[in-house]
Structure 1
Amino acid sequence: MIWNPEDYAKNSDAQLKWAQELRETLDLQGNKSILDVGCGDGKITADFAKTLPESRVIGVDSSAEMIAYATHTYTTARYPHLTFACVDARSLNFDREFDLCFSNAVLHWVDNHQAFLRGASRALRSGGRLVISCGGKGGAADVLQVFSEVIASKQWNNYFNEFHNPYFFYSDRDYAPWLNETNFKVERLELVPKDMTHLGKEGLASWIRTTWMPFTHCVPETQRNDFIADFVEKYLERFPLDQNGLAHIRMVRLEVNALKL
């Protein structure tokens, strides 16, 4: 799957907001070493580097397109201690180098969270902190339901004969033993409901185009906008815009805050 970094950067304000909310709960002072796993376009990683200008900050992502965009956008001239690298979340190859391993709005794309947790545990120093926020069990249920109806329709079903849902939404009960097995002490582990909003039909369509590519890219490019418009129409029939013209998406985030033993 090939990401469009520019499009993602324009349509990921909610992800940045949630990441900033998480960061504000952390006591980050002085010289820290921070690993941002699944850094995407780099805006969240750069936000760490701006807030902690003397800290070593590394952003990793499996998308070469995202890493190229982040490296070009957030240069070492502006952020001398910030670097980016193309690394899969399941194959972290660091050895006790970091005080914080952070991952926001990424791991629901990853099919092996236990491999990620093993790599995160290796990457952290003793006493280091793991902070995760990703799609959790029950997340985007309304979106997935509407998609299931759209792709079952006669107009689109031929494109989805071999389709498999690519998202991995886990619960706190799933995560507790995995964290224990990888040498983490849990300080916070919970599913948190979130209300995501997008401005009008256009905002909702942009979000679908940007982040639901496993669905939209099953359809030929010449028909993709029609497919997205079909989804938006059906979604808003069921969940109309509010009085301010906002579309609401019921999300659930799995949030983890744990210490490396």
Structure 2
Amino acid sequence: MHAWNPDDYHKHSAAQRAWATELIGKLELAGNERVLDLGCGEGKVTAEIAARLPSGSVLGLDISRDMIAFARMHLPPERYPNLRFAEGDMLDLPFDTEFDIVFSNAALHWVSDHGRVFSGIARALRPGGRVLLQMGGRGNAAPVLAVADDMLAGKPWTTLASGPPSRYAFYGPEDEREPLRAAGLIPVRVELIGKDMAFDSPDGLAGWVRTTWHLYLERLPEEVRPAFVAELVARYVEGRPSQDGRIHVPMVRLEVEAVKAAKRWSTGNSSLR
């Protein structure tokens, strides 16, 4: 499990939040749904969903104990009575026909076995329930990742890095449709969407790398990670001159919309409370 810094992530995830807000709009909520937010992080997106559910509720789930602790502290039930958080692994969802919607933003690219996640989602949904997921897709952040890979192939970084290189699960539509069907979910829309992540300064780019690039940074000793981030940012900025004074990273999101086949409802209980 990766070590997340909730406070630092909260300060350097504006793009993720903006894309999540756009994604929430696509849910077209009636206001009475029960929603599961997978990979909720520090909770700000989950709270935005809760605000749109005056007669419904939302559960935010994340594997990071620190993220869940941050969310519970800053979004307490006294202020958000229809919002709760639980620590848990999206690979082992314990729910049985409890939710009308399963939502996730910027989380599934951390997990390689999407088929297992989809099976858990199908169990968690009521018949006729909906799925809306967005994650990094094939080609996501390719130019800046190429700079990092080049650095790790040369000195001094190659001698400092430990363990084999890891890769994010950046998949394409053709990788997702069959696992969805095998899990009992009917694909409605599976597509790659281009996005632009823009930063006003190198510090902004450094903050994004520092808070989310665990697969790269955790291979390096903690004391040299700031120097790696600084060199990466400097190389990327030098290699991609800007026309508007901002630093742009081309991103690709994989968006998945699906439904669970309607049938007689059953009742189940969760082991997370």
The question of a shared fold, defined as TM-score above 0.5 by the shorter chain, is answered with: yes
**Could you tell me which residue of structure 2 aligns to residue 207 of structure 1?**
208
Distance 1:166 1:190 in 2: 21
**Could you tell me which residue of structure 2 aligns to residue 170 of structure 1?**
171
**Could you tell me which residue of structure 2 aligns to residue 81 of structure 1?**
82
**Could you tell me which residue of structure 2 aligns to residue 66 of structure 1?**
67
Where do 4+ consecutive residues of structure 1 move more than 3 Å?
Answer: none
Distance 1:95 1:111 in 2: 23
CA drift of 1:195 comes to 0.8
CA deviation profile, 1:159-206 (whole Å, cap 9, x unmatched): 224232241111100111111111112221101111111121111111
In 1, are the aligned partners of 2:130 and 2:257 still within 8 Å (CA)? yes
Question: What fraction of aligned residue pairs are identical, expressed as a percent?
Answer: 45
In 1, are the aligned partners of 2:31 and 2:54 still within 8 Å (CA)? no
CA deviation profile, 1:226-260 (whole Å, cap 9, x unmatched): 111110111112212342x3111111111011111
**Could you tell me which residue of structure 2 aligns to residue 45 of structure 1?**
46
- 1:130-149 aligned at under 5 Å gives the runs 130-149=131-150
> When the two structures are aligned, how many residues end up with a matched partner?
260
Q: Which runs of 5+ in 1 are unaligned?
A: none
In 2, are the aligned partners of 1:103 and 1:131 still within 8 Å (CA)? yes
**Could you tell me which residue of structure 2 aligns to residue 256 of structure 1?**
256
In 1, are the aligned partners of 2:185 and 2:259 still within 8 Å (CA)? yes
Q: CA RMSD in A?
A: 1.2
Distance 2:193 2:9 in 1: 24
CA deviation profile, 1:1-46 (whole Å, cap 9, x unmatched): 2100000001111111111111112221131100000000100101
In 2, are the aligned partners of 1:91 and 1:116 still within 8 Å (CA)? yes
In 2, are the aligned partners of 1:200 and 1:241 still within 8 Å (CA)? no
1:108 aligns with 2:109: yes
Bigger CA drift: 93-102 or 160-169? 160-169
Letter of the structure 1 residue corresponding to residue 207 of structure 2: S
Q: Please give the TM-score of this superposition, normalised by the length of structure 2.
A: 0.92
CA drift of 1:221 comes to 2.7
Q: Which runs of 5+ in 2 are unaligned?
A: 262-273
